[in-house]
Amino acid sequence: MIKKRLYQDTNFVTGLVFSILALLLLFVWIPLDSDTGLIEKVRRQVAIGDALAPTIAGVFLLIGGGLLMLLERNGDNQPAMDSNSVIFVGRVFAMLVLSFLVMRYAGPLAVELMNALQGSEREYRLLRDTAPWKWIGYVLGGTIAICGTISLTEGRFSPRALVVALLAIAALIAIFDLPFDDLLLPPNGDF
């Protein structure tokens, strides 16, 4: 099997990246985004400020990154990077984001469509716990997510993937929605 190597020197690059991130965290993000400094004086008592704890986290990252660059540069635990795998996971991730966007907007769109067709004025928000509206987004988005991930992994679309996805979504609705009155499937809690 041919392994494409992204980096010969994974540990060094990782260490460098985390050191830079740690420096940005310590000198840009934390100072700009916390209201009390490392220590503050309240009620005439010196107290630990909100910036101290994240600073310690940053120091952990900085030391870790530094050790990786200096002492463990030639460590034995350096996996070869396979850029194809990374691209594959990127695709799966993008597909999942897409399917959750479908999940989020399919229900409200369906209600809008019904309003346009029937001249009614209903709101998805108030229908979010009413069948079949509450399932539209979940079924569509969930099916795309499962079927899409299977297809990407297998390298082709198959009817089997679609059947598995539909069955799985039906089972999930049966587990999470039917028995429980106050559970909301995604995306209905957002309304």
Partner 1 sequence: MATLDYVWLGVLAVFQGPELFSILGLPIPVTLLMILCGFLLGIVVGATPGLAGPVAMAISLPILISVFGYTPDALLPVMGCLIGIMKGATIGGAVPAILFNTPGTPDAFMTTLDGYPMAQQGNAKKALRVAHFASVSGDTFSDIVLVICAPFLALLVEGYLDLPEKTALLILSLSFIAAAVGGSPAKGLISTGLGLLVAFIGTGADFYPRLSMGTEALSQGIALGPAILGVLIIGAVFHELAGQWRHKEVVSCAQPQNEIGSDRLSLGDIRKLLPYIGRSAIVGTVVGALPGIGSTLAATIGYTMGRRRHHKIGKPGDPAFGEGAMEGIAATEAANSSVSGANLIPVLSLGIPGNTAAVFLILAADSIGGFNPGPSVFKFTTDTVNPELVIAFGLFTAMFVANFLNWTIGGIFMRSMGIMARVPRQLLLPVVLILTLTAIYVQETRLEVIWFTLAFGLLGYGMRLLSISPLPFVIAFILGGKLESTARQAFDATGSDPFFLFNNPIAAVFMLLSIAIIFLASHRKPEQK
Partner 2 sequence: MKNFGRILVAALALTISTSATLAADWTPPGPIKLLIAFRAGGGADTQARLVAEALEAKMGWKFIPEQVTGKGGLNMAVALKGAANDGTVIGMTVTETFGYNMAAAPKAGMKPSDFTGLTTTAGFQMGIVAPTSKGWTSFDDMIAAGTGGQQIRFGVMSPKLADLAYLLGKAQGVTLNIVSVKGGKAVMDGVNAGDLDVGFMAGIQAKGVAAGDLVNLASALSEPLIQTPDAPTLADLGVAFNADGQFVFMGPAGMPQEARSALTQAIAGAVTDDATKAGGFIKKAFGGAVVIKGTELDAMLQSNYDAAGALLKAASE
Backbone angles phi, psi at 71, to 5 degrees: -95, -30
Strands (E), the chain: 39-42, 45-48
The CB-of-138 to partner 1 minimum distance in angstroms stands at 8
The CB-of-45 to partner 2 minimum distance in angstroms stands at 7
Query: Among all chains, which residue has been given the structure tokens 């469509």?
Result: 113
Q: Are 134 and 188 spatial neighbours (Cβ–Cβ below 8 Å)?
A: yes
The CB-of-23 to partner 2 minimum distance in angstroms stands at 28
Instruction: Give the closest residue to 84 by CA, choosing from 10, 2, 170, 166.
Output: 2
Q: Does 107 bind partner 2 (CB under 8 A)?
A: no
Structure tokens at 94: 């993008």
Which one among 20, 24, 53, 174 touches partner 1, defined by CB under 8 A? 53
Q: Are 84 and 5 spatial neighbours (Cβ–Cβ below 8 Å)?
A: no
Q: Does 56 bind partner 1 (CB under 8 A)?
A: yes
Q: Does 149 bind partner 1 (CB under 8 A)?
A: yes
Q: Choose from partner 1, partner 2, none: what does 125 bind? Cβ within 5-8 Å by kind.
A: partner 2
Q: Does 131 bind partner 2 (CB under 8 A)?
A: no
Contacting residues toward partner 2, per CB under 8 A? 35, 42-45, 123, 125-129, 181-182, 184, 189
